[in-house]
Chain A
């Protein structure tokens, strides 16, 4: 039984074990006197096995080992895990997966119910407490896992109503106030456990860690996750909008974004009016850009040979313009072959689209309307 538990735990190895192991090793020594130590190997505890082990909070605590919980965010690898030491044998078997061996009543007599309990309880009390805590744990396990792993919940069909309500409240609120220390402990553990268990067992969910004093119900968690996502997006926007680095706070940021978008839109309008004016007055004037300005392009373009032919065409004027614009865009360090590829393509296409004064060359343009999804995905990857 102990071995099975150990093996189960070992398969869910979690990263917090080092302190666990140390503590467990320390614990082992003084606990050896109380029950047959069946394994001296520190048991790697995982998030999934912790709930079961929590039952041992009440069961295995040694006399005089009152370690207060420091912070709830402290991983189970710290003080808590002194409790999750050698799982005492005997006690009822719980069925398949998670087996929680309870401290035999006689051994339990030597233990306090919880680390923070200052009293030594008698055996029957301990047994009761154990049972009650199991209920609590079972309910939590049920809630977190929802799987059939909890096999021993059937035994605890009759839960102590008090504990149940307490448990629900604990789960619902994650309170930091201490009703009873043991329940608080459990609640802290379970609140951590909830978030952790959900991490382990429901990988497709959004992971939000409930901190101390914060609600742990699904609504608040979802709300917090949503707020986290929004703040991420705001950070991305901060990178986009120039001059937003100094501004903190969502409202100021949104202000800046509004201003920036407005200014961009105004610029677009102004430029388009200018273009319209140009268009109406004269066709975009011929700009004789020397070829040497486009060394990278010209040298690589197979279409370069075509350019001299097209010099005579009135539409040719647009080519240098276009090349210039394209170069403008590609100004930053683009990988040369890629630059070549894109630019060459653009030149080819523009040549084709503009060479004939009649607009028959829509086809090449349409080929450039590559799959929007690809562009969208690419943008998103680059954007985030």
Chain B
């Protein structure tokens, strides 16, 4: 692959994928640790612990997502994620409540099992119907729309094309995996 020259340091990867993963991990860590140390300090002076915890939860979540978005530049979903986070922050600032971000996110969470069951039910309950081509395509379309809700920016104009959606899905899945690994390793050491 290419030799990536950065300020005199040459890295010649034998496996581009690993290098990508390594870069992602380092960026992610850098950002997140930086942000977490930031979080820790100003919140200590709050009175209500539960509130603080919630706030901290949200802030951590925000930072986690932001770290993901920043570590994986160049993807449509990361751009959309960044946009959404900043939008939510603005909403939070204006409204004075930080519910919107989590609420927005929780919607996805709650939606997921609910929306998904009908799809599977349809599949299992009507095997004959799913045998027909049209029904199969319908199912696939359903799943695709569901996936669009899962991935940030999936409903946007960037990912109207199915192929683009699938590629973005691939990158999103790998970045999510990496993120989970990083977070887990962070927790392991504490």
The finding on whether chains A and B are genuine partners in a shared complex, rather than unrelated, reads yes
CB distance from A247 to the nearest CB of B (A): 13
Residues of A within 8 A of B105 (CB): 269
Is A376 positioned at the interface, with any CB of B under 8 Å from its CB? yes
B182 pairs with A329, CB closer than 8 A: yes
B140 pairs with A250, CB closer than 8 A: yes
CB distance from A269 to the nearest CB of B (A): 7
Is A308 positioned at the interface, with any CB of B under 8 Å from its CB? no
The number of inter-chain residue pairs (CB within 8 angstroms) is: 254
Complex CA–CA separation, A324 to B183 (angstroms): 12
CB distance from B188 to the nearest CB of A (A): 8
B13 pairs with A287, CB closer than 8 A: no
Is B159 positioned at the interface, with any CB of A under 8 Å from its CB? no
Residues of A within 8 A of B169 (CB): 237, 257, 261
A382 pairs with B52, CB closer than 8 A: no
A230 pairs with B163, CB closer than 8 A: yes
Is B96 positioned at the interface, with any CB of A under 8 Å from its CB? no
User: Which of B39, B146, B167, B179 contacts A279, CB < 8 Å?
Assistant: B39
Is B190 positioned at the interface, with any CB of A under 8 Å from its CB? yes
CB distance from A338 to the nearest CB of B (A): 5
A226 pairs with B163, CB closer than 8 A: yes
Residues of B within 8 A of A335 (CB): 12-14
Q: A241-B173, A324-B185, A338-B11 are in contact. Are A373 and B57 (CB under 8 A)?
A: no
Tell me the B76-96 residues at the A interface (CB within 8 Å): none
Q: Which of A137-145, A153-161, A347-355 contacts B (4 or more CB under 8 A)?
A: A347-355
User: Which of B24, B53, B151 contacts A276, CB < 8 Å?
Assistant: B53
Is A258 positioned at the interface, with any CB of B under 8 Å from its CB? yes
Q: A261-B172, A280-B56, A326-B29 are in contact. Are A267 and B20 (CB under 8 A)?
A: no
Complex CA–CA separation, A267 to B11 (angstroms): 32
Complex CA–CA separation, A349 to B173 (angstroms): 27
Given contacts A265-B108, A265-B150, A335-B12, 7 further A-B contacts (CB under 8 A): A233-B167, A254-B144, A258-B143, A262-B112, A268-B64, A269-B61, A276-B57
Closest 8 pairs between A and B when the two form their complex, measured CB to CB: A376-B74, A372-B73, A382-B17, A329-B25, A254-B143, A233-B166, A276-B60, A382-B16
Is B127 positioned at the interface, with any CB of A under 8 Å from its CB? no
Interface of B is mostly: helix
A234 pairs with B75, CB closer than 8 A: no
Residues of A within 8 A of B36 (CB): 275, 279, 284
Complex CA–CA separation, A261 to B31 (angstroms): 23
B143 pairs with A251, CB closer than 8 A: yes
Residues of B within 8 A of A274 (CB): 187
Tell me the A321-357 residues at the B interface (CB within 8 Å): 321-322, 324-326, 328-330, 332, 334-335, 337-338, 341-342, 345-346, 349-350, 353-354
CB nearest to A272 among chain B residues: B64
Residues of B within 8 A of A269 (CB): 61, 105, 109
Q: A329-B25, A365-B34, A373-B74 are in contact. Are A258 and B116 (CB under 8 A)?
A: yes
Residues of B within 8 A of A250 (CB): 140
B163 pairs with A257, CB closer than 8 A: no
Q: Which of B16, B37, B123, B146 has the most CB of A within 10 A?
A: B37
Is B181 positioned at the interface, with any CB of A under 8 Å from its CB? yes
CB nearest to B168 among chain A residues: A233
A345 pairs with B37, CB closer than 8 A: no
Complex CA–CA separation, A354 to B105 (angstroms): 31
Tell me the A192-244 residues at the B interface (CB within 8 Å): 226, 229-230, 233-234, 236-237, 240-241
CB distance from B112 to the nearest CB of A (A): 5
Residues of A within 8 A of B7 (CB): 367
B21 pairs with A251, CB closer than 8 A: no
